[in-house]
Structure 1
Amino acid sequence: MRTICFYFQVHQPLRIKPYRFFDIGDDHYYWDDYSNKTIMRKVAQKCYLPMNALLLDLIHQYKGAFKVSFSISGVCLDQFELYAPDVLDSFRKLVDTGYVELLSETDAHALCSLKSKAEFTKMINVHREKIKKHFNGYEPKVFRNTELIYSDQIGAMVADLGFKGILTEGAKHILGWKSPNYVYHNAIKPDLKVLLKNFQLSDDIAFRFSNKTWADYPLTTPKFVNWINAIPKTEETLNLFMDYETFGEHQWAESGIFEFMKALPGAVFEGSDFGFSTPSEVLDSAKVIAPIHVPTPISWADEERDLTAWLGNDLQDEAFEKLYQMESLVNQVEDEEIKRDWAYLQTSDHFYYMCTKFFSDGDIHAYFSPYDSPYDAFINYMNVLSDFILRLEKKHKEQLKSS
């Protein structure tokens, strides 16, 4: 039987408060607690709580034949603890069914895989410990890098950390004529298996579902099942990867997105030869057909499926380089608040807000940004980073004096 693999990314960044030049050296707290709490509670009510309840009902209704997977960022888990313990409880109930897989990732939803193997490894280990803590000792076996960023070298690092598989984008410029509906393996470390997102069918749900100008609007379950039935019989797995906030936040409840998801498993079981599997189940059962060669990093963002959403202009590059210049010094100081802020400042969203794309993907970037412009995002971030560097250097000097 062929299978559908659902993966949902669950992430909320810690947003930085308005931080002026004159705050540098005076105010060492950077986070907008009011916005973070307000947004978390809003998304909890619109997405996390109702969707978790729906998925739990589907798992029980189909007696485990319906399965999904999640990657929950560490920075999101931290906010669940602070602002939404009810959401954390609802995720635990899902995992406790045994039909929901949790994936590993970088704790702060960071871009460190592009810069520092040491920081990448450390963040993964921190995230592993948080998953163990919150989910009764659960240990993820499959990895999902921030925003599905992947390359041959990143995959090799992930393989060295003991994971059996990784998720990434089925980017057209990488696949060429090949299909994303197979299991591939890393070009350097063949033991690491690679699952590729079918972006066409994933994005039909995640981005086009409520778009009334879309030629295929409205998307119904019979229509979707017809599309998956058109996939050649030799193609074994359909990977549907998307933001969890698709349900109720990006696609509002009024669009019918919850009703669509509620009806989808039954329509699949009744009208196709597809079932549902977790990533680990796919990796354990499906045949690996070939290496996938990705010499330059890809992601699931924007039309280009590259890194330009985060590192595509001078603003982003300057902030990114300045941040990681601090890595060695951060590792030398013994200060939990500094280390916490260092991690949160690495969250990829801060660089996403600085993106200056104004054409095909500009509206998407503006939708997610709390700033009026990319330049405001850059100035605010660099002000905070300037204060962070002052704190860091001061603490380092104090330690040297006392040693």
Structure 2
Amino acid sequence: MTSVCFYFQVHQPFRLREYNFFQIGEEHNYEYEEKNAFLLNRIAEKCYLPTNRLLLKLIQKYKGRFKVCFSISGCAVEQFTSYRPDVLVSFQKLAKTKSVEFLAETYYHSLSFLFSQKEFVRQVNKHRDKIESLFGKKPQVFRNTELIYSNDLAKIVANLGFKGILCEGVDSLLHGRSPSVLYKAKNVENIKCLLKNYVLSDDIAFRFSDRSWSEFPLTAEKFAQWVAKQGNGTVNLFLDYETFGEHQSKETGIFAFLEKLPELLLQKENIDFKTPSELLHDLPVIDEYDVPKPISWADEERDLSAWLENKMQQEAIRRLYSMEAEVLKSHDEQLIETWGRLQTSDHFYYMSTKYQNDGKVHAYFSPYDSPFDAYINFMNVLSDFEQRLAAKVTLQV
């Protein structure tokens, strides 16, 4: 039996406004609210609402046999609440079908696991509580920011009570093994790993509308045949949700593809759809996935270089996390919230100086003219935040 697991990442960062040196100490509003609202409204109309309607239609049409899962960052949830509560309602309608699973992640879509276990745990608990309050069920499966994973992460996640975790299927770590079977984490008995099939996932996410691709156009019929050839186990299709309607526009045929695919797959006797929790329960563990150094689903390297390769990125994040003790000691909810939002991985992603294909992807997502502009803007904001924090600490003494 082959089970297809559709996982969608839903995330929108709080983008920063243009903040220059002369505003430090004078202006404490860092976020570009108008742009955040504009972009969320655009993506809601192009992606979230139409895709949620389509998924609901498919779940109802196939009487619950079609299933998907989501992780929705706390940043996205807060923007839905502020700007588009109808989007949140549409996700809640999906939750009521019992054919959709919601996963846990870091609340601010952060790199906290790499820099502070205490902060990582705080954010995971905050996110898990938020998801349970919105969708009525406590998440049992974890997905770290951008699928960042390592053996050390598995231990922490196990201690938090999760049963499984989503990971990138990295060829150099699989050593010829298939990403389509269930693995266990190294030296952690109660954490199972679901590995992304990056080839098939990226066929949809990145190559779907690429006319230079040898397999263009990608039809649902063709893709269903590829899935059927994967053999027994699970085909884990992990994608940014914005693939549908935003990164791949309606005009490319992406919605028609998504609507047709379940019919073609469910026609086959040996193919079904499952959520991560169902896979963890139903599939046997075949082998161990040993990941001594952190991996991710970003860029060709599938490592941390998307956020931490150059000195600008390294200095910005070092300085940010150096404030942790004083931020938490302040007991100032506004400062703690701002510090959390500044941890969002996108801020460091915009500072990447990669080139060629990876560089084009970074530039596509960045609101800045250059990585240097992203760095300067972030550091100006951080300088003002440091002054506010220092003033708070001084008052407490």
Q: Same fold (TM over 0.5)?
A: yes
Which residue of 2 is the match for residue 150 of structure 1? Answer: 149
Aligned-partner SS, 2:267: helix
Which residue of 1 is the match for residue 377 of structure 2? Answer: 380
* Aligned partners of 1:190 and 1:291 also within 8 Å: no
Alignment of 1:150-299 (within 5 A): 150-231=149-230, 233=231, 235-271=232-268, 273-299=270-296
Alignment of 1:119-138 (within 5 A): 119-135=119-135, 137-138=136-137
Task: For residue 120 of structure 1, report the CA deviation from its aligned partner.
Answer: 0.3
Which residue of 2 is the match for residue 11 of structure 1? Answer: 11
Q: Deviations over 1:257-314 (max 9, x none)?
A: 0000000000001146210000000000000011100001000001000000000100
Which residue of 2 is the match for residue 349 of structure 1? Answer: 346
CA distance in 2, matches of 1:168, 1:272: 28
CA distance in 2, matches of 1:188, 1:76: 34
Q: Deviations over 1:106-144 (max 9, x none)?
A: 000000010111000000011112112222x32100000
Which residue of 2 is the match for residue 365 of structure 1? Answer: 362
CA distance in 2, matches of 1:154, 1:87: 32
Q: Which runs of 5+ in 2 are unaligned?
A: none
Aligned-partner SS, 1:154: helix
Q: Which amino acid aligns with 1:219?
A: L
Q: Deviations over 1:370-400 (max 9, x none)?
A: 0000000000000000011111111011112
Q: Which amino acid aligns with 1:281?
A: E
Q: Which runs of 5+ in 1 are unaligned?
A: none
* Aligned partners of 1:197 and 1:241 also within 8 Å: yes
Following TM superposition, the consecutive aligned residue runs of length 4 or more in structure 1 with deviations greater than 2 angstroms are none
Q: Cα RMSD between the aligned structures? A: 0.8
* Aligned partners of 1:225 and 1:272 also within 8 Å: no
* Aligned partners of 2:2 and 2:228 also within 8 Å: no
CA distance in 2, matches of 1:271, 1:188: 37
Alignment of 1:100-115 (within 5 A): 100-115=100-115
Q: Which amino acid aligns with 1:310?
A: W
Kindly tell me the number of residue pairs found equivalent between the two proteins: 397
Higher mean C-alpha displacement, 291-300 vs 271-280:
271-280
Q: Which amino acid aligns with 2:146?
A: E
Which residue of 2 is the match for residue 82 of structure 1? Answer: 82
Question: Does residue 39 in structure 1 map to residue 36 in structure 2?
Answer: no
Which residue of 1 is the match for residue 93 of structure 2? Answer: 93
* TM-score, L = length of structure 2: 0.99
